[in-house]
Chains A and B, each alone.
Chain A
Amino acid sequence: MLLLPWWMAGSGDRKLDREFQSDVVYSTLNGYYYIRLLDNLMDGHGSVELALLPAAAFFHSEFLLTYQKYFEANHSFWPVFRSAWFSSSEAIASEESVVCFDEDAFRQISVQKLCAARIPLAATSYFYRDVESIKPWLEFTAALASWSQMLDDVFDWHRDLRDKKDSYVLSRARRHKREGETVEAWMARTGFDWGMSVLGGWLPELRRLAQPLRSAALNRYLDLREEMLEEDKAKLGAGLKALVEISAVLSSEKNYSARPN
């Protein structure tokens, strides 16, 4: 998400303003830490976050004040800022209240959660006076937000289960597991493969939305993500298959026939 405004600024043949881009990175990092702090506290992944909570004032101020160098108080940038920033906070809160995710709820929440990414993108488009470019970049960012959240859900399933945090993947597990089957067993038997196939299935949509953005760096990023996905699918799929095989060996008929009734 940090690289999106950089890629947006560098798309086509535009000459980059390095000072502005550095400021965007600085602001975005502060915004990210602010969101991370709240999000970790809300989803139970926090360790030192409660003690660090007063630092949220610093992160929020630095995130906001950086843009005041570039945009007057009545600039069109600020309504975008306000709307995206409020929606982001609302999403952090509403994720906690969702008890069962379907795909629509998942997409809506994941897009909302990363809607703060609209802020540096809007700033970049206004700074370079290229307001028309914002719409296709936002569409791509929304699709990338869902894809990235799905990736987190697939790889964090065990931590989410341990922390009693629901997710699209865990909701799916609870709906589709066999009678008496645990979520863990469903994930090993079929859930991981399902998650990886969803991620693979959403990639062509990302590529389609990336096409009009004319960013070679963005396309290289998508290539890299696809390679990593294939690698993880093969590597972890083999590990989970080995677990299912050990379980099958240990629960084979011969094993049970050796025991007294």
Chain B
Amino acid sequence: MTLQQLINKVLNDPAFFSALKKDPAKALQGTDEKLTPEQIKALKELNYKALEDVGSAFAGPSAIT
């Protein structure tokens, strides 16, 4: 999965990251990602809370000054 696809996920499908944190292998079922145990461990340890802020800042209503 590319960075562009991940950004589109964070803006349009934030639930994907809850699933990725909980069970990376299951969340990536149906994609061509085959995870090693090291990758699963690394994915579980990332800062998922910060991703919610990215979604609401860049996908929410337009900033008007």
Q: A242: which of B48, B57, B58 is its contact (CB, 8 Å)?
A: B48
Interface 9-residue window, one of A9-17, A62-70, A90-98, A182-190: A182-190
Return B55 CB to nearest CB of chain A, in Å: 8
Q: Could you tell me which B residues sit within 8 Å of A by CB distance?
A: 1-4, 6-8, 10-11, 20, 32-36, 38-39, 42-43, 46-48, 50-54, 57-59, 62-65
Residues of B within 8 A of A187 (CB): 7
Q: Does A254 contact B (CB under 8 A)?
A: yes
Residue in A closest to B61 when the chains form the complex, CB atoms: A159
Interface residues on A, range: 35 or more
Provide a sorted-by-A list of 22 A–B residue pairs whose CB atoms are within 8 angstroms: A156-B62, A156-B63, A158-B58, A182-B2, A184-B7, A185-B2, A189-B3, A235-B53, A236-B57, A239-B51, A239-B53, A243-B6, A243-B10, A245-B42, A246-B43, A249-B42, A250-B1, A251-B2, A255-B35, A258-B34, A259-B32, A259-B34
Q: Which 4 A-B pairs have the closest CB atoms?
A: A239-B54, A239-B50, A238-B50, A247-B3
Residue in A closest to B57 when the chains form the complex, CB atoms: A236
**Do B3 and A255 have beta carbons less than 8 Å apart?**
no
Return A226 CB to nearest CB of chain B, in Å: 16
Instruction: Give the dominant DSSP class at A's interface.
Output: helix
User: Knowing A239-B54, A259-B32 touch, does A247 contact B1 (C-beta < 8 A)?
Assistant: yes
Residues of B within 8 A of A158 (CB): 7, 11, 58-59
**Do B3 and A188 have beta carbons less than 8 Å apart?**
yes
Q: Does A143 contact B (CB under 8 A)?
A: no
Return A109 CB to nearest CB of chain B, in Å: 15
**Do A155 and B65 have beta carbons less than 8 Å apart?**
no
Residues facing B in A72-93 (CB within 8 A) are: none
Residues of B within 8 A of A156 (CB): 62-63
Residues facing B in A229-261 (CB within 8 A) are: 232, 235-236, 238-247, 249-252, 254-255, 258-259
